[in-house]
């Protein structure tokens, strides 16, 4: 897994340079520069890991392209990243987005995955990247969130529901931010939801392309 390490380092540097040109700021660039993305994909695809493209993970899932990960992370942090202390990720997948959040050294990161094989694979990937000890991974139904440890300052959803799950809205702290794609009749858009004392503020950010968010568990 660690062969041609210098080549992967060079590819990762080119990725962060490209993301910088696309408008991503230094905080997220530094985090993504610290995460070995190639450890989170199948070995046959590792040479493509730093390209600007999504890659298959099996089980009908994908790892998002680097810009999507970077943009969602920036939206989650907002202008006051120091306030982002407890974060919930829905859809662990291979664990790469989780790793980026962990590389930001946010105090508490929880991540829920409904597919047991992916949950176990994410553990392996995070262990290989030296990040497993900091992660709090749960195999469960993402639609339900984690009410037992709510509220969350940030919630990041990496699959597209057709409407915002009510349970996740209820688990968002006042002043909190949720970033998620929504499938609106076959067209997806990325949304930022901010919870204020007066209610919710919704901002449509850009078009998106994610796998569907499915309720329940598949173990």
Class of residue 142 by CB neighbours under 10 A (exposed 0-12, middle 13-18, buried 19+): buried
Name the token pair of 218: 């598949």
Q: Which of 54, 64, 111, 215 is labelled catalytic?
A: 64
Phi, psi of 72 (to 5 degrees): -65, -35
Three-class secondary structure of residue 87 per DSSP: strand
Helix axes 26-34, 66-77, angle to 10 degrees: 130
Q: Which of 85, 92, 126 is nearest to 106 (CA)?
A: 85
Sheet with strand 187-196: strands edge to edge: 136-139, 108-113, 86-90, 152-157, 172-184, 187-196, 199-208
Cα-based distances in Å from 79 to 4, 25, 76, 101? 38, 11, 9, 16
User: Is 54 one of the catalytic residues?
Assistant: no
As annotated, the active-site residues are: 64
């Amino acid at each position: 897994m660690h062969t041609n390490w210098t080549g992967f380092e060079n590819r990762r540097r080119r990725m962060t340079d490209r993301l910088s040109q696309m408008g991503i700021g230094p905080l997220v660039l530094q985090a993504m520069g610290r995460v070995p993305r190639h450890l989170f994909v199948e070995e046959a695809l590792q040479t493509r890991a730093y390209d600007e493209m999504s890659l298959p993970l099996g089980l009908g899932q994908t790892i998002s392209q680097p810009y999507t990960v970077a943009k969602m992370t920036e939206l989650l942090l907002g202008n006051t990243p120091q306030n982002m202390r407890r974060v919930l990720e829905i859809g662990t997948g291979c664990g790469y987005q989780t790793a980026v959040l962990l590389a930001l050294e946010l105090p508490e990161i929880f991540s829920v995955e409904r597919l047991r094989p992916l949950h176990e694979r994410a553990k392996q990937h995070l262990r290989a990247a030296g990040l497993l000890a900091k992660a709090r991974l749960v195999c469960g139904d993402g639609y339900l969130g984690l009410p037992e440890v709510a509220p969350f300052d940030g919630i990041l959803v990496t699959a597209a529901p057709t409407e915002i799950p009510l349970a996740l809205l209820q688990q968002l702290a006042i002043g909190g931010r949720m970033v998620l794609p929504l499938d609106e009749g076959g067209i997806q858009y990325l949304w930022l939801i901010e919870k204020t004392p007066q209610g919710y503020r919704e901002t449509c950010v850009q078009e998106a392309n994610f796998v569907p968010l499915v309720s329940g568990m598949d173990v």
